[in-house]
Amino acid sequence: MVRRDRVATGVGAVLLLAVAMPVVSMVLAIWDQGHDELSLAFLLQDPRQAGQAGGIASLMISTGWILAVCLAVAVPVGLGCALYLSEQVPPGSRRERGLGFVLDVLAATPSIVFGLFGYQFLAITLGFGFSLLSGGIALSFMVLPLMIRSAEQALRAVPRAHRQAAAALGVTRTGWITRILVPSAAPGIAVGVILSVGRALAETAVLLFTAGYVLRRPDSVMDSGRALSVHIYDMAMNVPGGADRAAATAVVLIAALILINVMIRGLIRPSRAGGHA
């Protein structure tokens, strides 16, 4: 190899190390700070004294509710929109480009703007208040483009030959979509759902003034509740000496995200081996 290329190879390796170092530092520092707090009790108890004592059980329940609401909105609307894109509008048409524009803008919109919108429209105008419902719906708006694009990709990957075969058998459009198209795209759609869950779990800014800060165990979706990510922020910034518990919560959150990552890899591999990087 030419000398210049050898130099470049070395420089690149140094750069990679320079990037990997903070990431490793991040994982180590957070584990280091948080692992003393981690215990079964931490997972099973509700927080006390503004989170300075107790665990995170009620927060996990709130997070679960928020996710459930988010998926209950994002999955049907997202799948419907993806089907509309892949089945109803001709490729390259104005409607397709218009909807594509909407999705691109939504995907680029800062999450704090979804927070503002959720607060004003859901909590105030619709009267949902600071609640898991408001938070979940606001979050669903944010993950919608991700959900739609991945479902659309999965639907478009179904071979067109299947449709001709179905049409030749006189299957209706409804039959084609519900019996053949969606079931064969199901693994890809599931990847989209899991990706959306990951994005929703990681989000904080949308929830700050939609779902609220309340530490209590929620009784219904109309109650206010605090998500894990919001808890990390609040403990780290607003509670003196809360860094340990913030870090412990972060460990739990990262563990959940890694689990999701593993699930996605498991789903992608059998259906399209080698397709994804």
Partner 1 sequence: MADRWLHRLLWLSAMLAALVLGGIVVLLIGRTAPFIAQQGMELLARQWYPGDGEFGMAAMIAGSLAVAVLALVLAAPLAVALAAWLRYFAPGWLRRPALALFALMAGIPSVVYGLWGLLVLVPWINGWVPPGASWLAGSLVLALMILPLALLVTDAALAQVPPDWLHAGAALALSRVGMLRRVVLPHTAPAIASGVVLQFGRALGETMAVLMVCGNVVQWPGSVFEPVRTLTANIALEMSYAAGDHRIALFASGLLLMLVTMALLALSWRLGRRHHGTA
**Contact with partner 1 (CB under 8 A) among 257, 263, 267, 268:** 257
DSSP class of residue 126? S
How open is the CA angle 265-271-272, to the nearest 5 degrees?
Answer: 85
**The two three-digit tokens of residue 187, written as one number:** 């693994």
Looking at residues 106 to 135 of the shown chain, list those that interact with partner 1 (rule: CB under 8 A). Answer: 106, 108-117, 119-121
Part of the chain binding partner 1 (CB under 8 A), chosen from 18-26, 37-45, 58-66, 162-170: 18-26
CA atoms within 13 A on the CB side of 48: 6
Q: Which is nearer to partner 1, 10 or 53 (CB)?
A: 10
Part of the chain binding partner 1 (CB under 8 A), chosen from 40-48, 58-66, 79-87, 217-225: 79-87
Looking at residues 149 to 168 of the shown chain, list those that interact with partner 1 (rule: CB under 8 A). Answer: none
Name the residue among 142, 135, 163 with its Cα closest to residue 64.
Answer: 135
Q: Is 177 in the site for partner 1 (CB under 8 A)?
A: yes
Q: Is 42 in the site for partner 1 (CB under 8 A)?
A: no
Residues 6+ away with beta carbon under 8 Å from 131: 123, 210, 211, 212, 221, 222, 223, 224, 225
d(CA 57, CA 59): 5
Q: Is 83 in the site for partner 1 (CB under 8 A)?
A: yes
Q: Is 77 in the site for partner 1 (CB under 8 A)?
A: yes
Looking at residues 209 to 228 of the shown chain, list those that interact with partner 1 (rule: CB under 8 A). Answer: 209
Is there a contact between 169 and 180 (Cβ–Cβ < 8 Å)?
no
- Number of residues in contact with partner 1 under rule CB under 8 A: 81
Q: Which is nearer to partner 1, 185 or 219 (CB)?
A: 185
